Structure 1
Amino acid sequence: MPHTTPGAPAGGPDGAPADVTPLVQLVSPTGERVVEPDNAAYRSRVDHLSAGDLRDMYRDMVLTRRFDDEATALQRQGELALYAQGRGQEAAQVGSAYALAPQDFVFPSYREHGVLHVRGIDPVDRLRMYRGQDHGGWDPAESNVHLYTLVIGSHVLHATGYAMGIQRDGLVGHGDPERDAAVITYFGDGATSQGDVSEGLVFAGVNSAPVVFFCQNNQWAISEPTSRQSPAPLYRRGEGFGVPSVRVDGNDVLACYAVTAEALERAHAGGGPTFIEAYTYRMGAHTTSDDPTRYRERAEEEYWRQRDPIDRVAALLRAEDGWDEAWAAEVDAEAEALGERLRTGVRELGAPPATAMFEHVYATEHAQVTAERAWFEQYESETGHATAGTGATR
């Protein structure tokens, strides 16, 4: 399986990354198509995409960023207890999500706002957990998207187990695009240092599980650079477990779509797992409790700001006569409407009753939980204490 094509950043102004490992790239930072012999197979996977498809990707990336900016503002206003920013990672998320089939199942970490947007998760529901209103926010069975996971790397094992389950249920290898299913799990560079990720790779590799490990290497595990996580490029981790691996330009939405489409095609056919390292950059903070100015240089941030994934799609559309000013204005208006809906919807979320903590503990009725709920309800009734949840910190 080819895993490199020319195009990785090398040299350049102060702030350029020291890591110059080649990667799959189909669109340059300035919006030109990258045509090289080694990326021909990946280019063939995007040949069918029209200018309308590119505009759809651009739209979803813009809306994802507006969601991100609005959620950050809501946290600053005290409406959310915490928020994990995803600014700069829109191409990796939207591009990979576009490759998914409806029956594929997604296991996100806590920053995959663009993936959830493409999969149709209501924007207000995506923030219920961050407001402290709900442990999750949506029904995974309705969208084939698991709830956000805050425990670093733990969901990778869940994803692998789920993939082994659909494999044993006979849902792969039929050649039927509407039946064959796969799993994709998203995690960051820091999570690759967790044992759960290694264990997931072991089980997936040994069992040829239909799972795609999508690592968004945004170069900072909170305040620790990737160089403190691994002396070798992260995609080599997958190779060590016998899992086909590829490194892709995470700011190139077409390249992310192409490599994910290939990985999912292999998984659907029964060919087993793939490890994808999307080399990107977290332009914002790790979370709203983080201050990246304490560990990052301005020159580095400026270098990546000039390689903004949304600007890259806009440049490509303009270069190929796919840009339309009226349409762009409509996208901006839609983004404004999304911001207003998010502000209104989040503020209207009521505090849940305290008894909600007894719900969804087990899949079926459990005697101990039932008894504890009954005791708690009696306590509330006898003492007159109002113990409803408080929602966000105000």
Structure 2
Amino acid sequence: MQALSKILPSLSNLQRLHLWRAGLTEQTLTSLKSTVSLCLNLRTVVLEGNPLPEQAFHILIAEDSPLTHLSLRNNCIGERGAHLIGAALSTARVANRSLLYLNLAFNSIGDVGAKHIAQGLRLNRTLLCLSLAYNRIGDAGAAYLAEVLGPFALTHDEIVERRRQMGKWNSLPSQTQIADSKNESWLSIASSSSLEPSMSNTTRSSTRKKDMPKKEENQTASEGNLTPGRKEETKLTGKGPDTKLARGKGVKPAAKEKNLSVFKQEVADQGSRLTHTDKTVIPVSKVAETSEPEIPVLETEVQYREGKVIVLGNDVLTSLNLSGNRLTEQSLSSFLSSVSQQPAGGGLLRLSLSRNCFQEDCDIFLKLQELMTLRDPLSKTVPGDEEHEQAV
């Protein structure tokens, strides 16, 4: 691993690393994680047949991990490893934003491990493909996985974290005003307050005052009636121009302070409107832009129903493989209910349920299969293909 740590970062074209039954240990896995972060174009890592006592594979799914494809098949991952992987996928505060494909087939995740993986899918909006084939998952674990695909209620801890983060957003306008009041840079913020017209009028009037002699001078020269000096003197000494210039000199101090206070209040009201509203749907992720990492619990739209905060569900995951587990018709009903509530053209597009504990000719499976066939874009045949297939 020390040799690889020196060689791999120098391979600028390296995109895939496959270590099958390489005898990894906790120490070499940590070294591998550091090496992967140094490889510019390495995005796929396959670690199969490398069981570890501590099951610390989650370090490859950290928030700052550059990997997009990770395969951890046949690594004896149990409940502990599934718990660590689920927490790495997402929590109420942090989430992985790079991993697109995760293969956990042929492990020992079980129902409890499936619950942890489902917990990680609640607020993860990056992962597209997940394989949990041959993991001894029954109806209890499948119910948690099906729940996150449809609308579900936030837990108490998630609601508390959401309110805490929203409180930080609410304090942003007042903090911005205090910080920017020293240099008055907040005046550049776009707003529809009454200060903006007065400021623009003052600027235009002062500009008009400077440019007026030149404009009149050009007019006089073109007309030839008066000399430039006389025309300019007439304009500067007349009552009309003097009145206009007096009006354009600016706003009175009292009125200006009033306008400034109105502007500040509108900025604060705008921030509160973005975070607090009577609407059922609140896209809090659009509240403001900041250099801090985005909070997963604030990125999803929510609805309020019967005193509960309802999330619309994970509609980013497109492929889920649960083949070779212990699912019965009860799990089929849960998936059918959740998938049918997902928006058309999005959400789960492929669901693999072969080799489970139900008859493939049962009504509920046929309904689910028909629904998934309509959703899967790869299963749609071109007109005329059916006749061609029959002929073949």
**TM-score interval for Structure 1 and Structure 2 normalised by the shorter chain:** under 0.3
TM-score, scaled to structure 2 = 0.24
TM-score, scaled to structure 1 = 0.24
Report which of the two structures shows the higher radius of gyration computed on alpha carbons. Answer: 2
Query: Which protein, 1 or 2, shows the higher relative CO under an 8 Å CA cutoff with sep ≥ 6?
Result: 1
